[in-house]
Chain A
Amino acid sequence: MAKTFLIDTSRCTACRGCQIACKEWNELPANDTRQWGSHQNPPDLNAYNYKLVRFNERRDGDTVRWNFFPDQCRHCIDPPCKHEADAYVEGAVIQDPETGAVLFTEKTRQLSEEACEAVREACPYNIPRRHPVTGALVKCTMCHERITRGMLPACVKACPTGAMNFGEREEMLALAEKRLAAVKAEFPNAMLADPDSVSVIYLLTDDPFNYHQNAVAGVTRDLDRQQFLARLTAPLRRSARAAMQG
């Protein structure tokens, strides 16, 4: 059965338990970081950070908004990175039919630097990173070796507040709708990010761009706002209809 994450940012306190747990489980070395005027560190995803909590702050009139975005691979249902990589090396990127996990294999080492760049370009969320030593493409593995043994992904296990959730797709979609309805009381513009096309669904309480430029796929700030919202809410309306009919 396909697995799905629900990342409820309305419950995220940016404790970074997920970011640290991911590094620990994957035994990734630490980057030599510097304080650069932000709590977001390392500044971006890299070969040693498959998961990164992004911090985005602004003042909205007299109110401060500080948004937290635990960024990671969305494990797209129809993954563009796989389509792109297949054109270069068959089997470099695979999708586990059982869980839906999109996995970068050892064969990604056979991808040239340019091919890796093309795969990264293909990703609507700018996730893949090339390992500086091995040349492999790396990213979140959905903790495949854990979830196939009945355990939760390390990031979900570590989350203290219930921001990170993981389970069967139907179950997570239902939870997402329930959570969305609950947070709308306080945040009328709350939304789910690309719920129909990804296995990692974010519940956002603010404009996606106020979290991260790649919080949602394939739109830019220039896109007409109405179009943008229509596109975002269409899947919701669809699933709401489906839920009512079901």
Chain B
Amino acid sequence: MTNHWIDLKNADAFLIMGSNAAEHHPISFKWVLNAKERGAVVIHVDPKFSRTSARSNFHVPLRSGTDIAFLGGMIKYILDNEKYFKDYVVAYTNASFLVNKDFGFQDGLFTGFDPQTRSYDKKTWSFQLDDNGVPKRDESLQDPNCVFQLLKKHYARYTPDKVSTITGVSEENLLKVWEAYSATGTGTKAGTVMYALGWTQHSVGVQNIRSACMIQLLLGNIGIPGGGVNALRGEPNVQGSTDHALLYHILPGYMATPTAAWQTLADYQKANTPVSKDPKSANWWQNKPKYMVSLLKAWFGDKATADNDFCYGLLPKLEAGVDYSYMYLFDRMYHDQVRGGFIFGLNPMNTLANTHKARAAMDHLDWVVTSELHHTETTDNWRRPGVDPKTVKTEYFLLPSAHRIEKEGTISNSGRWTLWHHKAIEPAGEAKNFGFMLIGLANKLRAKYLQEGGALPEAVTWQDWPQHYDAEEWCKRINGFFLADTKVGDKTYKKGQLVPSFAALKDDGTTSSLNWLYTGSFTEEEGNKTKRRDPKQTPMQEKIGLFPNWSWCWPVNRRIIYNRASVDPTGKPWNPDKPLIAWENGKWVGDVPDGPWPPLANEGGKYPFIMHTHGFSQLFGPGRVDGPFPEHYEPVETPVTSHPFSSQLSNPMYKFVSGDLDKLAKPGDPAYPIVLTTYSLTEHWCGGGETRNVPCLLEAEPQLYVEMSEELAREKGIKNGDGVIVESIRGKVEAIAMVTVRIRPFAVQGKTVHLVGMPFCFGWTTPKCGDSTNRLTPSVADPNTTIYELKACLVDVKKTDQLTEIAR
């Protein structure tokens, strides 16, 4: 979240889209309902009417996978009706930037596309620079090559009739949402966007979110109380896991993973450190070398020296152009290119797309180590239904894992607050926490390399691991230490003392930090700030529910990021009733500002979007692989054969794997005419591996169901509560029909398109509750993130009297 949970109460309008917030982030609705009571309008745009819709002012059903058409139409509406907040757009976004004259867009493709490699040469997606290397701007927004004019041109095609015919949303409903939401573009109102996996899990996932960012920028809704683009993250600690780089493509603190192209630290720093020639641009990432060297010092300790590149050479390097994410990992596994591995804290045999293939892929492993609270579809894949365990060569290890409440440590919530949690009880039996397992493993490996040697043993033996795991000691390592006596301002820190803020991190090896974003969370002055529970606040902070002394939040306890955009260039809040920061008597008051510099108009002032090289937020976003502006493309499996915006049916760059188990239904396939969308539910957590073992949760949601409209049920002769078979080109799944008014058919291009929805939390290790819904979903993914398209694919449904996976 750019903002935080409590801040939701400051919104005047909510666009909840790609999220079922009330069900999956129940606490969010405490704040949403507070705002609603104050008169805020709560809008839910989603294929089905859910518990979120029930508490919203209105729900608008949308065919799954058509969000960009819907949002592109809203961008056009905002521009045509001048609903944007012009001062903000001119001063803080790149609307005024002049784009390379050779940039263009034609029939669904941007300039530079190579159909052979299915990729873009992004050369023309660039800005015109002046003699000093600073982007040229036209603050009148009239230049035909300026971003604003290109934006207008791009979305001119997204007329209400075209948007309506492809999304299945009536024009009346489109206008109702666009009008209600864009009323926030005044500077004194706030609109917030709440999204989750309903946006990310599409072949255009990243561009769904880009569309929302652009709307928020046009309306001046970024950096303000009650605004933001709010990715709702939850109990799985997604926030903490991305911050600390659980994914392969980043190192802790959102720095790129080294690739084979960057063999030396100098190569890495040069390729990853942006340069701005504009004195008003803070260009914060210019500090990256300090964070990288501090990270290497934290990893390799005294062994890391300036002379040996701080051990950069010992880090594994990614091969350029190779995708290491799940979809490809399991494809490689299926093709015998992976021998073994560790699966901790997830249940991929239930949650990956096309689990038929994922389950078969695991049989190709020699060994696998899992660590879980309970037996799951993953820990027990070797004895899954229809498989004789004797034929499975894989050796499985199951390490009993401690439950969250059986260990202490931190969790980072969606609002970037990092909160300490105490251990409530001792782990049962032989269960241990992951820290114990991983540090134990690292030390065993190191001892073995020390004794026996091997290829490049230093990569392991030089790592600075403690003997034992201690959560609080680990927090200190994350914060970072001074490795030499250092003066910061008037204060001298001794070698071995904690670094007070990332501003003090150095690139000369005299500081360490496992994650620069968390530097300042554990200090000499205040100790472990994740334990702070003080509701103290100033009257200004009280107005907007800001609690700076409760836990700690990255970066530097800044509760709303990009907050310099909440004030005008002189430092005066756009909305005087809800000030977030303000420049008063030569200093900032309120939240921790995005950098210490004075307001933009003052001497030494800086642009507010400090993480962007040029200091401006991006309406034109050349960073993504599939286009600087979001464009509507159909899901890879789509019920239509054309759409009104171009002849490019699906994302030209969507990722896929091919093989005997990777079949795809063709567009408009008559054998699979129904759209399937998948989701979670309140009562079960993710793949259900934990919650299906909690009897009263299983009592409340016991078995796999498929929600469908009364119209579809009538067509198929299905009654509420009947057993049905849902079938895609990849497999069949049994479910119980839930016939409901909450799902309705869509009118798409003059035809009826039905949609059904299923949760994915049920699996065969819980007897007779049904098995993985993901046996139906396809191995196709977003080209930027390789997140699977789990929210839209094609199926058929039929009634059955013979259920084998589900008890009646």
Q: Is the CB of B23 within 8 A of A35?
A: no
Which of B47-55, B94-102, B395-403, B667-675 forms contacts with chain A?
B47-55
Output the least CB separation between A84 and chain B (Å).
30
A66-B53 in contact (CB<8A):
yes
Roughly how many angstroms separate A15 CA and B684 CA in the complex, as a whole number? 11
Q: B697 near A59 (CB under 8 angstroms)?
A: no
Inter-chain CA distance A59–B741, complex, in Å, is 6
Q: Are B737 and A37 in contact (CB under 8 A)?
A: yes
B26 contacts which of A15, A19, A33, A64 (Cβ < 8 Å)? A15
Asked whether A16 lies within 8 Å of B22 as measured between CB atoms, the reply is no
Given A29-B695, A36-B721, A57-B741, are A15 and B23 also a contact pair (CB < 8 Å)?
yes
- Residues of chain B lying within 8 A (CB to CB) of residue A182: 37
- Of A15, A23, A37, A63, the contact of B682 (CB 8 Å cutoff): A15
Partner of B30, one of A34, A38, A58, A160: A160
Residue on B with the closest CB to A41? B700
Rounded to whole Å, the gap between the CB of A34 and the closest CB of chain B is 6
Question: Across the interface, do A35 and B696 meet the contact criterion of CB distance under 8 Å?
Answer: no
Q: Per a CB cutoff under 8 Å, which of B22, B695, B741 touches A58?
A: B741
Bound-state Cα–Cα, A31 to B696, Å: 8
Measured between beta carbons, the chain B residues less than 8 angstroms from A66 are 49, 51, 53-54, 742
Interface size, chain A (Cβ < 8 Å) = 38
Instruction: Type the 1/0 row for B271-299, where 1 means its CB is closer than 8 Å to any CB of A.
Output: 00000000000000000000000000000
Pair A42/B721 contact, Cβ less than 8 Å: no
Q: Could you give, for residues 705-723 of chain B, a 1 whenever the CB lies within 8 Å of some chain A CB and a 0 otherwise?
A: 1000000000000001110
**A10-64 contacts to B (CB < 8 Å):** 11, 13-17, 19-20, 23-24, 28-39, 41-42, 57-59, 63-64
A23, A36, A64, most chain B CB atoms within 10 A? A64
In this complex, what residue of B is CB-closest to A31?
A: B699
Closest A residue to B695 by beta carbon equals: A30
Q: How far is the CA of A63 from the CA of B57 in the complex (A)?
A: 11
Would A35 and B702 count as touching, CB distance under 8 A? yes
Q: Which residues of chain B have C-beta atoms less than 8 A from A29's C-beta?
A: 695
- Picked from B26, B58, B700, B742, the residue with its CB within 8 Å of the CB of A161 is B26
- The residue among A13, A29, A33, A67 with the most chain B CB atoms within 10 A of its own CB is A13
Residues of A within 8 A of B53 (CB): 64, 66
Nearest-Cβ distance from residue A2 to partner chain B, whole angstroms: 28
A191 to B605, CA, bound (A): 56
A23 to B702, CA, bound (A): 16
Contact between chains at A41 and B55 (CB < 8 Å): no
CA distance A102 to B808 in the complex (A): 37
- A166 at interface, CB cutoff 8 A: no
Task: Report chain A residues within 8 Å CB of B57.
Answer: 186
Taking the complex as formed, is A162 at the interface, i.e. its CB lies under 8 A from any CB of chain B? yes
CB proximity of A31 to chain B, nearest CB, Å: 5
CA distance A34 to B699 in the complex (A): 8
A202 within 8 A of B: no
A211 at the interface (CB under 8 A from B): no
Q: Does A68 contact B (CB under 8 A)?
A: yes
Q: A41: which of B30, B33, B702 is its contact (CB, 8 Å)?
A: B702
Task: State whether A68 touches B33 (Cβ < 8 A).
Answer: no
Check: B311 CB closer than 8 A to any chain A CB.
no
Shortest A96–chain B CB gap in Å is: 27
Which residue from A16, A34, A64 sits with its C-beta under 8 Å from B742?
A64
Residue on B with the closest CB to A8? B33
A65 to chain B, nearest CB (A): 8
Chain A residues touching B, majority SS: loop
Which of chain B's residues have a CB closer than 8 A to the CB of A28? 696
Given the known interface contacts A30-B699, A64-B59, the answer about A35 and B705 at a Cβ–Cβ threshold of 8 Å is yes
From B29, B695, B738, B806, A38 is in contact (CB under 8 Å) with: B738
Complex Cα spacing A161 to B741, Å: 26
Task: Determine whether the beta carbon of B741 is less than 8 Å from that of A13.
Answer: no
| B703 adjacent to A16 (CB under 8 Å) | no
Q: How far is the CA of A33 from the CA of B326 in the complex (A)?
A: 35
CA distance A32 to B807 in the complex (A): 11
**Is B261 part of the contact surface with A, judged by Cβ < 8 Å?**
no
Q: Which residues of A contact B696 (CB under 8 A)?
A: 20, 23-24, 28, 30
- B59 to chain A: closest residue by CB: A64
> Does B740 sit within 8 A of A, measured CB to CB?
yes
B27 close to chain A: CB less than 8 A: yes
A31: which B residues are within 8 A, CB to CB?
699
When A16-B682, A41-B701 are in contact, do A160 and B26 touch as well, CB less than 8 Å?
yes
Residues of B within 8 A of A34 (CB): 702-703, 736, 807-808
A20: chain B residues within 8 A (beta carbon): 683, 696-697, 700
Which A residues are CB-close (under 8 A) to B702?
33-35, 41
The closest CB in chain B to the CB of A19 belongs to B700
Shortest CB–CB separation between residue B537 and chain A, in angstroms? 21
- In the complex, the answer to whether B27 meets A57 with C-beta atoms within 8 Å is no
Nearest A residue to B704 by beta-carbon distance? A35
Report the Cα distance A17→B807, complex, angstroms.
26
Bound Cα distance A15, B22 (Å) = 8
A39 and B701 contact, CB distance less than 8 A: yes
Q: Which of B600-621 contact A (CB under 8 A)?
A: none
Best-buried of A23, A35, A58 by chain B (most CB within 10 Å): A35
Q: Check B741–A35 contact: CB distance below 8 A.
A: no
CB within 8 Å for A37 and B738 given contacts A16-B700, A19-B700, A24-B696: yes
Asked if B700 contacts A57 (CB within 8 A), the reply is no
Q: What is the CA–CA distance of A23 and B700 in the complex, to the nearest angstrom?
A: 11
Q: B32's closest neighbor in chain A, by CB?
A: A161
Instruction: Please judge, given known A-B contacts A13-B51, A30-B699, A162-B33, whether A37 and B26 are in contact too, CB under 8 Å.
Output: no
Docked CA distance A161–B683 (Å): 16
**A195-B654 Cα distance, complex, nearest whole Å:** 58
| Distance to closest chain B CB from A113 (angstroms) | 25
B109 at the binding interface (Cβ < 8 Å): no
Pull 22 A–B residue pairs with CB atoms less than 8 Å apart, ordered by A: A11-B33, A14-B51, A14-B682, A15-B26, A16-B700, A23-B699, A24-B696, A29-B695, A30-B695, A32-B699, A34-B702, A34-B703, A35-B701, A35-B738, A37-B737, A41-B702, A42-B699, A64-B53, A68-B54, A160-B26, A161-B30, A186-B57
6 closest A-B pairs by CB:
A30-B695, A37-B721, A37-B720, A35-B703, A30-B699, A13-B22
Extra inter-chain contacts (7) besides given A23-B699, A33-B702, CB under 8 Å? A11-B33, A13-B29, A15-B51, A35-B701, A42-B699, A57-B740, A59-B741
